[in-house]
Homo-oligomer: A and B are copies of this chain.
Amino acid sequence: MLTIGKLGEAAGVKVPTIRYYEQIGLLPEAERSAGNQRLYGRKAMERLAFIRHARDLGFTLEAIRDLLSLSDRPDQSCAAADAIARAQLAEIESRLARLTALKAELERMVVQCAGGKIADCRVIEVLGDHSLCATDHRYPESEVPS
């Protein structure tokens, strides 16, 4: 049995985070030693590793909660797990597309900064004027106030 510190070290999760996961019900309440310290066995370790891995993949704690409750019922269809993973994949693909566009715009900004004065700085200028950039702008010219 491991104390919370050892578990955290082993799983690459900080101690307060483990206590937090217990608090919100992602981890079951741990056994306690005579001196009231939490003790963890292999099952807790595996559950924590599952959580950490899913977090690394960008799943929200809510999604992880769902996945964990699915994995507790191994005889059910895995369609739900598949759906959660697919949703996560779609989410990541959309973030990826967005970030790629942002990167392009930032690169343009940075390249165009000639190292002069603020008044001529493309970074400031581009940020201040939607029409200078390629990304969606949400208000028509007509609505710009006087």
Contact = CB atoms under 8 A, between A and B. Distances in A.
Interface of A: 1-2, 6-7, 9-12, 40-42, 45-46, 49-50, 53-54, 56-58, 67, 70-71, 73-79, 81-82, 84-86, 88-89, 92-93, 95-96, 99-100, 102-103, 105-107, 109-110, 113, 115-121, 123-124, 126-130, 133, 135, 138-139, 143-146
- Copy total for this chain: 2
A9 B143 contact: yes
A99 to B, nearest CB: 5
Contact of A118 (B50, B70, B110): B70
A96 B103 contact: yes
Contacts of A110: 82, 85-86, 89
